[in-house]
A and B are shown apart, each in its own frame.
Chain A
Amino acid sequence: MRKLFLILGWMTLGWIGGQAAESPAGEQSLSVQEIVDRSNLAAYYEGKDGRSHVNMTITDSQGRTRERRFIILRRDDKDGGEQKFYVNFSRPSDVRNTVFMVWKHIGKNDDRWLYLPALDLVKRIAASDKRTSFVGSHFFYEDVSGRNPADDTHELTETTAQYYVLKNTPKNPDEVEFAYYMLWIDKTHFLPIKAEYYDNNKNKYRMVEALEVKTIQGHPTVTQARVTDLKSGGHTVSVFSKIQYDLEIPESIFTERYLRRAPRRWLK
Chain B
Amino acid sequence: MTNSGSSKSSIVNFSINHPWTIVVAVLVLTLGLGLQIPNIQIDTDPENMLSEQEFVRVFHNQVKKEFVLYDMIVLGVVNEEHAEGVFNPDTLEKVFHLTRYIETLEGVIEFDLLAPSKVDDIQQAGLGSVRFEWLMPSPPKNRQEALRIRDRARENPMLYGTLLSEDGKALCLYIPIRSKTLSYRIASQIQDNLSDLEGPERYYITGLPVAEDTFGIEMFRQMAISAPLAGLIIFILMWVFFRSFLLVVSAMVVAGVTVICTMGLLISMGYTVHIMSSMIPIFLMPIAVVDSIHILSEFFDRYQVYKNRRETIVHVMRELFRPMLYTSLTSAAGFASLALTPNPPVKVFGAFVTVGILFAWLLTILFIPAFIMLLKESSLKSFGLNPASSNKPSILERLLKPMAGWTYKRYRGIAGWSVLALVISAIGISLIVINDNPVKWFEKKHPIRIADKVLNAHFGGTYMAYLVLEEVRDAKGFLQSVNAIQKELALRIDDLQEDIPQLLNIKSEALKQVRVFADQHKSSENFSVVDLLQALENRATQQTQTAGTDAEAWDEVSLFFNEQKVNYQPFKNPETLQTLEHLEEALMSSGAVGKVNSVVDVIKKVHYELMEGNREYNIIPKTSAAVAQTLLSYQNSHDPDDLWHLVTPDYQKANLWIQLKSGDNKDMEPVLNTVTEFFKNNNDGRPLLAQWAGLTYLNVVWQDKMVHGMLKSLLGSFVMVFLMAALLFRSPLWGILCMVPLTVTITLIYGLIGFIGKDYDMPVAVLSAMTLGLSVDFAIHFLQRSRSVYPRAGCNWLKTSETMYGEPARAISRNILVIAVGFTPLLISPLVPYQTVGFLLASIMVVSGIATLLILPALIRMTEPWLFKKTE
Q: Is the CB of B637 within 8 A of A60?
A: no
Task: Count residues on chain B whose CB falls below 8 Å from chain A CBs.
Answer: 50
A100 to chain B, nearest CB (A): 9
Q: Which residue of A lies closest to B635 (CB)?
A: A136
Q: Is the CB of A60 within 8 A of B562?
A: no
Contact of B636 among A128, A132, A201 (CB under 8 A): A132
User: Bound complex: CA of A62 vs CA of B649, how far in Å?
Assistant: 11
Residue-wise interface mask of A (115-134) relative to B, using a CB-CB cutoff of 8 A (1 in contact, 0 not): 01111011111101101111
User: Bound complex: CA of A249 vs CA of B128, how far in Å?
Assistant: 27
Q: Is the CB of B641 within 8 A of A60?
A: yes
Q: Which residue of A lies closest to B628 (CB)?
A: A94
B:581-640 near A, CB below 8 Å: 607, 610-611, 621, 623-630, 632-633, 635-640
User: Bound complex: CA of A129 vs CA of B630, how far in Å?
Assistant: 20
Q: Is the CB of A231 within 8 A of B111?
A: yes
B563: CB under 8 A from chain A?
yes
User: Bound complex: CA of A125 vs CA of B648, how far in Å?
Assistant: 27
Q: Which residue of B lies closest to A200 (CB)?
A: B100
Contact of A231 among B110, B626, B628, B633 (CB under 8 A): B110
A98: CB under 8 A from chain B?
yes
Q: Is the CB of B635 within 8 A of A94?
A: no
Q: Is the CB of B632 within 8 A of A93?
A: no
Residue-wise interface mask of A (193-204) relative to B, using a CB-CB cutoff of 8 A (1 in contact, 0 not): 000000001000
A95: CB under 8 A from chain B?
yes
B220 to chain A, nearest CB (A): 34
B130-138, B279-287, B750-758: which lies at the interface: B130-138
A232: CB under 8 A from chain B?
yes
Q: Is the CB of B111 within 8 A of A95?
A: no
Q: Is the CB of A132 within 8 A of B632?
A: no
Contact of A119 among B128, B559, B610, B643 (CB under 8 A): B610
Q: Is the CB of A98 within 8 A of B640?
A: no
Q: Which residue of A lies closest to B559 (CB)?
A: A93
B:108-140 near A, CB below 8 Å: 110-111, 120, 125-126, 128-134, 137-138
A38: CB under 8 A from chain B?
no
Point out the residues of chain A lying under 8 angstroms from B640, CB to CB: 133, 136-137
Contact of A92 among B607, B628, B630, B641 (CB under 8 A): B628
User: Bound complex: CA of A232 vs CA of B640, how far in Å?
Assistant: 12
A135: CB under 8 A from chain B?
yes
Q: Is the CB of B636 within 8 A of A93?
A: no
A260: CB under 8 A from chain B?
no
A91-B562, A93-B566, A124-B128 are known contacts. Are A232 and B111 too (CB-CB below 8 A)? yes
Q: Which residue of B lies closest to A234 (CB)?
A: B641
Contact of B138 among A91, A128, A134, A174 (CB under 8 A): A174
Q: Is the CB of A133 within 8 A of B636?
A: yes
Point out the residues of chain A lying under 8 angstroms from B239, CB to CB: none
User: Bound complex: CA of A95 vs CA of B625, how far in Å?
Assistant: 6
User: Bound complex: CA of A177 vs CA of B644, how far in Å?
Assistant: 22
Q: Is the CB of B610 within 8 A of A94?
A: no
B3: CB under 8 A from chain A?
no
B810: CB under 8 A from chain A?
no
Point out the residues of chain B lying under 8 angstroms from A60, CB to CB: 68, 641, 644, 649
Contact of A121 among B134, B572, B610 (CB under 8 A): B610
B104: CB under 8 A from chain A?
yes
Point out the residues of chain A lying under 8 angstroms from B68, CB to CB: 60-62
Point out the residues of chain A lying under 8 angstroms from B381, CB to CB: none
Q: Is the CB of A94 within 8 A of B110?
A: no
Q: Is the CB of A129 within 8 A of B133?
A: yes
Q: Which residue of B lies closest to A121 (CB)?
A: B610
A257: CB under 8 A from chain B?
no
Residue-wise interface mask of B (283-310) relative to A, using a CB-CB cutoff of 8 A (1 in contact, 0 not): 0000000000000000000000000000
Residue-wise interface mask of A (53-95) relative to B, using a CB-CB cutoff of 8 A (1 in contact, 0 not): 0000000111010100000000000000000000000111111
Q: Is the CB of A132 within 8 A of B138?
A: no
Q: Is the CB of B132 within 8 A of A122?
A: no
Contact of B132 among A132, A174, A231, A234 (CB under 8 A): A132
B799 to chain A, nearest CB (A): 81
B221 to chain A, nearest CB (A): 34
Point out the residues of chain B lying under 8 angstroms from A201, CB to CB: 104
Q: List the 5 closest pairs (A to B, CB-CB), nearest first.
A: A136-B635, A126-B125, A94-B628, A118-B625, A118-B626
Given contacts A94-B624, A95-B628, 16 further A-B contacts (CB under 8 A): A60-B644, A64-B648, A93-B562, A93-B563, A93-B565, A94-B566, A116-B632, A117-B625, A119-B630, A121-B610, A123-B129, A124-B128, A125-B129, A126-B130, A134-B636, A232-B641
- Contact residues of B with A, CB < 8 Å? 65-66, 68, 104, 110-111, 120, 125-126, 128-134, 137-138, 559, 562-563, 565-566, 572, 607, 610-611, 621, 623-630, 632-633, 635-641, 643-644, 648-650
**17 cross-chain CB contacts under 8 A:** A61-B68, A64-B648, A92-B566, A92-B628, A95-B625, A95-B628, A116-B610, A116-B633, A118-B625, A119-B610, A119-B621, A119-B630, A124-B129, A129-B132, A129-B133, A129-B638, A132-B638
